Amino acid sequence: MAEQAASEAPTRLSLAGRLFGVLRTVPPTALLGLFGICFFMFFAIFAPWVAPYGVFEIVGGVWQPASAEHWLGTDNLGRDLMSRLIWGARLTIFVALAATLLAFLIGVVLGFTAAVFGGWVDQVLSRGNDLLMAIPTLILALVILTVLPSDLYILILVIAVLEATRVFRISRAVAADIVVMDFVEAARLRGEGWGWIITREILPNALSPLIAEFGLRFAFAVLFLSALSFLGLGVQPPVADWGGMVRENKDGIIFGIGAALYPGAAIAALAVSVNLVVDWILNRTASLKGGRGDG
């Protein structure tokens, strides 16, 4: 047992040293972005245990100022603003993350299919994607959500389909560059099927730009959801999300009450945090490609 513990100790130390070495290479801006993302994710995951009050609970008067009992004051109905922000983080991040994941599932599958098969398959998928992208995204979403029921899964689906058009474009472009390379041709000559080529040859080499695009799409999904909620066609009250909180408290700005500024600042902080990490990933990917080219 003593020998086993002694053998495990260097392993743990090496893992910790490796992690510390990786963190040392991360620039301060990316570390700030990672901290911001972890900060918001913490409150989104542990909202039931962290929030001082319930999301619908009326605890005071309308637009009370910040105090020891209510750190950010109260909103337009007398609900604790800090608690609503924490609960709103959970719903905003969940909806944006679910929509982004679904958008990538749709966009990557269709984009890789168009690049690999080419011909009429590529033409049909690309022209259909161009048609959707030609319509302003916000206007199209407003028209669709006005007709369809105001359900959360429909909201996620609409955002995902509209975001998938951007994912399709970049995934097709990346896959089109990879599919003409020698190792893909070698896999074809070995008799590998299209499923193998897509999952084992194209996807691993396309992960870096797709991961960066995932961060961008997530940030845009947060902004898009907040815009829809502000216009009254996103998450419906009394459920809390950041865009809806801005709309509910916007009238307070006229009277010098900043209740609408807190959720707006949260939206901006999350978007900036994600973009800082995405910039680091893109720069790291570009430097790795440059290093391989110089070698």
Domain borders along the chain are 2-294
Q: What is the pLDDT of residues 211-265, one digit of tens each?
A: 888 998 999 999 999 999 998 888 888 888 999 999 999 988 888 888 899 999 9
> What pTM was estimated for this model as a whole?
0.86
Is 216 buried (19+), middle (13-18) or exposed (0-12) by CB count in 10 A?
A: buried
Q: What is the pLDDT of residues 117-176, one digit of tens each?
A: 888 988 999 999 999 999 888 899 999 998 988 788 999 999 999 999 999 999 999 998
Look at residue 195 in the predicted model and tell me its pLDDT: 78
Which of 22-31, 118-127, 151-160, 279-288 has the lowest average pLDDT? 279-288
Residues 166 and 97: their CA atoms lie apart, in Å, by 16
- Look at the domain 2-294 and name its fold: MetI-like fold (1.10.3720)
Q: 37 CB contacts (<8 Å, ≥6 apart)? A: 270, 273, 274, 277
Report the 10 Å Cβ neighbour count for 104.
22
Q: What is the pLDDT of residues 52-107, one digit of tens each?
A: 998 888 898 888 888 888 899 999 889 999 999 999 999 999 999 999 999 999 99
